[in-house]
Amino acid sequence: MNDNHMEALAEALPQEALARESILKNYTTIKCGGPASLLLEARNEQEVALALRLARQHNVPTLMIGKGSNLLIDDHGFEGLVIHFGDQFAQVSLEGTTLTAQAGASLMALSRLAADNGLTGLEFAIGIPASAGGAALMNCGAYGGEMSRVVSFVDCLSPEGEPVRLNKDEIGYSYRSSRMMREGYTVLSVTMELVPADMAVIRQRIDENQAQRRERQPLTYPSAGSFFKRPEGHFAGALIEQAGLKGYRVGDAQVSELHAGFLINLGDATSRDFMELVGHVQDTVEEMFGVRLEPEVRIIRAPEA
């Protein structure tokens, strides 16, 4: 890729939805990340498909961002095209027990909508600051629930920008992964099948989940959520705590003193701070327990980093 390719792509995209050098820390919950060469605000499926095809044609890398709750982006930014699925790509419909949401819809809002209509299945999601698309892509979950249990199908674009519908048995869900993630599909919308239940019971579960989050998670600081995947037979947070790393910090990046599975931004942490902290945590835990922690958070590195 060169500047001519980037400029050709920029000229071919809808100018009213396009921005240059947008600072990506403003699009992530951990508040890190440098500029994107180009950022397109997703408005409809046709524009997203066109953008993917043009980016492929001009050999420009692409990155999809929803709520940015599971991303750590390099301080150098992203040299390519970022497509942001925000409020302009967040329509939701509910027909009976079938809930359909565009990729940019808030997962927490969907959880509340389901509860308000006496539908169970999304109580686990009440405190997860993710988009519907990102949640379906990575099979996010908490408190015994996860997306794979409610998703019936997803409408996607292939890496070439062609429309694809994947049914539940085609998605290939596994722990914090899916076929979409592994093969580079872009989620456009998610259709979920929920179950009628007693509204009082649903609300009680939601209240309990919210109370646990407030008690156990460092919600007052920017973070990317639980940073590491759960290693087989262990809990990442417990291993980190047992390694004596609670409160350990590099710059303004810190292992939370409340929950060691969370890495928090105390104010002005850079992605370099976080990467140094991640490496130290991984090395220390591996040295002490023989377990190499794998990030759950998607780490977007710049080519020169």
Residue with tokens 């997703």: 42
Q: What is the SS3 assignment for 207-266?
A: HHHHHHHHHHCCCCCCEEEECECCCCCCCHHHHHHHCCCCCCEECCEEECCCCCCEEEEC
CA distances from 177 to 117, 148, 169, 229, 284 (A): 29, 10, 14, 11, 26
C-alpha 297 chain-centroid distance = 8
Contact 120, 151 (CB under 8 A): no
> What's the residue count for the chain?
305
Cα dihedral 181, 184, 185, 186 sign: positive
Residue 73 φ then ψ, to 5°: -105, 140
Q: So which residues are the catalytic ones?
A: 176, 226, 296
